[in-house]
Structure formats: C-alpha cells, structure tokens
Amino acid sequence: MIHPVILAGGTGTRLWPLSRELNPKQFLRLTDDHQSMLQLTVDRLSGLETEAPLIVCQDEHRFLAAEHLRQKGYDHPRILLEPCGRNTAPALALAALECLESLPDGDADPLLLVLAADHDIADIEAFQDSVRQAERLARAGRLVTFGITPTHPETGYGYIQRGKPFPEGGFELARFVEKPDAETAGAYLASGEYLWNSGMFLFPARQLLSELAAHAPQILEACTAAMAHRTTDMDFIRVAPDAFEASPSLSIDYAVMERTNAGAVVPMTAGWSDVGSWSALWQIAKRDDQGNSLRGDALAEDTKNTLIHADSRLVATLGVSDLVVVETPDAVLIAHRERAQDIGKLAKRLSASQRNEARNHREVCRPWGFYDAIDQGHRYQVKRITVKPGAKLSLQMHHHRAEHWVVVSGTAKVTNGDRTYLVTENQSTFIPVGQTHCLENPGVIDLELIEVQSGPYLGEDDIVRFEDSYGRS
C-alpha cells in the first residue's frame, strides 16, 4: 500500500504579502478559488490506492493543517510535528519511522509517496500514471524521484540527468545538477537527457532508512531517538525536541539520492509548477487577451502581462506592464515581474525588523475560528471575532486589558468570573482587567462579535490560560 507523506513545513516568503510565517502558501487558495494548495494536494490522491495521508508540518501550523484536512473529511488526520526546521531528510526519516510504527497488518514495507503541499499539477491523470509507473520500480527496491519534462530552459530549478532506461519503465538516476545559467539550461533542454527536479519521491520505507544508515547515519540516529519518545496530542504526533534538534539539516537529495546506487527517475509531463514566486503563478494562471492575471476587485486599463491580486479593495492600474501588484488589508506589494524571485528579501527584512506583516495577516486563524484586527490606536484595539459552532476559547485572564463584547450574530456562552450566562444578538457584556473569563459558541451557526479592548498594553502575549481544549500553554 502507498502511504502519502505531504511535506507542509515551508514558509513561502517569495509569495509575500499573501504568504506569511503563520499562514504560508500551502494553506492559501492560490490556484483555486475554493481550496488551499494542501487540499488540492490531498485531492490529487483520489484514484490511487493509498492510506490516509501523513502531514509533516511545523508546530505553529498544526491547527491550520488540521482544519484544512477536516474540511476534506479527515476528522482525525495524522499530523507529524517538526520541533524545528531540519530540511527534508530528517522530516522523511521521521515519516518513515512513523509509518513503520503504525504499519497495518500484512504491509511489510510501505511505499512512501512524498509530495510537497504547495505545488500545482494540472494533469492529475498523468500524475497518477507516473506514480503507478514509479510503484513498479519502488517495489523492486528503487528509490524513485519524479523528474518533470522541461518545457523551456528554466534557470530557477535544479535538474536531474537520466541514465539508461529500465525494462519496466523509468530510468537510472545519473546525477543531480544545481540551478544552471541560461546557456546551460538551453543545452540541457536540447539534449533531452535532463528533467526538472520536482522534489517528489516514492520510497520503500525500510530501504530509505537503510540508505540513511549508510549515507547519513547522524540523521537516522537523531530521528530514531526523537521517535523513541514520541507522544500524541489530539491528532498531533510530537517527537522529542532535543533529540531532533541534534540532527544535521540536509535535503533528501544530498543526504541520500545523490549517493545511493538504487536511485531511479520517472519522467512526468503533467503541467507541474512549484508556484515558487508570483511570476510562476502568473505563468500558470488564466490570463486575458492582454496577458493579465486578475483576481479580486481589479481594474486594468492599458496594462499588459501583469498579475493583480486584490484582497479587500479595488486595485486599478493604468499604462503599466510586467508588474506584480498584490493587495492585502495590511500591505501592498508592487514589483517588476522579473524581480519576483527576490520578493523573499522583503519578507526577510520585515521579519528582521519584527514587523507583524511578515508573521501574520490582519485576519488571524485560531483553532476555534478566527479574528480580524479591524482597528488599533493608543490604548484601544477593535477585533471582529468569529467562533465556530461548538468551539470554545480558553479559560483565561489578562493583566493589562479589559474587554467589551458585542454579539453581532449567534449566541455566546460567557464565563465571567463566577458567573456563566448567554449573550445573544445585539447584547453585550464587559470583562474587567484581571477577570477570569471564557467564550463559547453553544449554537449551530457561527458566533460573530465585536471585541473592544482597552488598556495600557494590548499584546497577544498578555494571556494567562487556565484551561484550554486545544492543548495550548
């Protein structure tokens, strides 16, 4: 049986300002109006005989991942949490150990189908045909990578040179090469021997661990120690942080695939893109007869070959070309499309300056719903809070702020000190500074309310939790 492993740990800085540290591109609806990149990745498995996917992500993204999978019908998804980023080799070592730990009866050596959560594939049938071809090689003990048949001399991807063909399909893996210059990329395309490195794989789990033992034993040792003290928390699998942090940070390409004698590559022609930048998104998006990709409330006059993404207001352009214009409620990006690969530099500068625009959106997801920070000034902040049916915020208190709640729709069950009572539409309640309180939605529709905070300090770290349904400290 194939065990999908979906790597969802990236931050997607080159797609700022839409992608943020706490809401990166795998959780965004970039290529589909209704589904996130992670959800589309899960959908891609439909038609293949697989187990439920194992998601590998960062701890701070765990509730996002769980909610996106819940929306796809996985009420109790398997989510493996990385205590810190250590690249793909340690992540896949953990995934292989976890799959073997929970192996169904009769499945001697599961095949790990490794997918990135933030790629786009237009031709699902072609993708699945390549997976089935790779399965034959993997069952024969091969470590298979998928190479994308190049359509142009791309300098933004690494390449794989294919070797001799196998009788059952696919090719020997001759070598990996780094991102080339334009002239070299043109020579690769002309030769017909080179494929783009997709970062997708199909591995026999035990064979992968054996190769790690031979070529990267420190990674296997650290990950084995980390898994030896694994714990479960709701739907989340946690490993020992200290042990995992001792692992070297290496890609699976460098740790295993460039060193193994069991490598294979299967070509894939499926309309693949890593959606690694705004220019890459422009290339795969639907465009008008002027070459413009418009999303949201966008008005383009005398504008060519431009991507406009408007989140919350009208964005208009006049007499421009080859731009990327991205508007969110708290930030606007304007860049030349040829510089799209450098947008991550802006996100890094914002992060270094500890600007919230690098870390989160104005609308912030929480396991119980979300809030939108509508307005903020000296000693006050206004939020619009939405609580899902049956969800409950933690029992908490604040040292520095009072809160006034006005219910807009739905019904709120409020704990305010020693009292518990209901607050319905057009009613309000007040939470004094230092008062223990809790908010719950006992209804069957979303609870929406306006929260007005007042006090000398309004930071999110002024929360003392006493009880929490979601295991937060």
Structure tokens at 396: 């908490």
Tens-place pLDDT, residues 160-199 = 999 999 998 899 999 999 999 999 999 999 999 999 999 9
Element (H, E) at 412: strand 412-416
* Runs of H (alpha helix) within 140-216: 182-191, 205-215
| Residue 175 bridge partners (DSSP) | 161
Q: Which CATH class is domain 363-467?
A: mainly beta
Tens-place pLDDT, residues 138-148 = 999 999 999 99
| Residue 301 bridge partners (DSSP) | 318
Percent of the chain with pLDDT over 70: 99
Confidence band, pLDDT 50/70/90 cuts, at residue 18: very high
pLDDT at 427 over 70: yes
What's the mean pLDDT when you consider all of the chain?
Answer: 95
Q: Give dist(CA 460, CA 441) in Å, integer.
A: 21
Average pLDDT over residues 399-417: 98
Tens-place pLDDT, residues 20-36 = 999 999 999 999 999 99
* pLDDT (0 to 100) of residue 107: 61
Tens-place pLDDT, residues 295-344 = 999 999 999 999 999 999 999 999 999 999 999 999 999 999 999 999 99
* pLDDT (0 to 100) of residue 105: 59
Say which residue the tokens 């690969």 belong to.
341
Structure tokens at 399: 């040292």
DSSP assignment of 78-140 equals EEEEESS---HHHHHHHHHHHHHHTPPTT-SS-EEEEEETT-EES-HHHHHHHHHHHHHHHHT
pLDDT at 262 over 70: yes
Tens-place pLDDT, residues 110-127 = 999 999 999 999 999 999
* pLDDT (0 to 100) of residue 472: 82
Burial class of residue 12 in the structure, from the number of CB atoms within 10 Å of its CB (0-12 exposed, 13-18 middle, 19+ buried): buried
Strand, coil or helix: what is 258? coil
Q: Which fold has domain 2-273?
A: Spore Coat Polysaccharide Biosynthesis Protein SpsA; Chain A (3.90.550)
Q: What is the distance between the terminal CA atoms of the chain, rounded to a whole angstrom?
A: 38
* pLDDT (0 to 100) of residue 438: 97
Q: Give dist(CA 470, CA 472) in Å, integer.
A: 6
Domain residue limits, the chain:
2-273, 280-351, 363-467
- What one-letter code names the amino acid at 431? I
pLDDT at 106 over 60: no
Average pLDDT over residues 348-372: 94
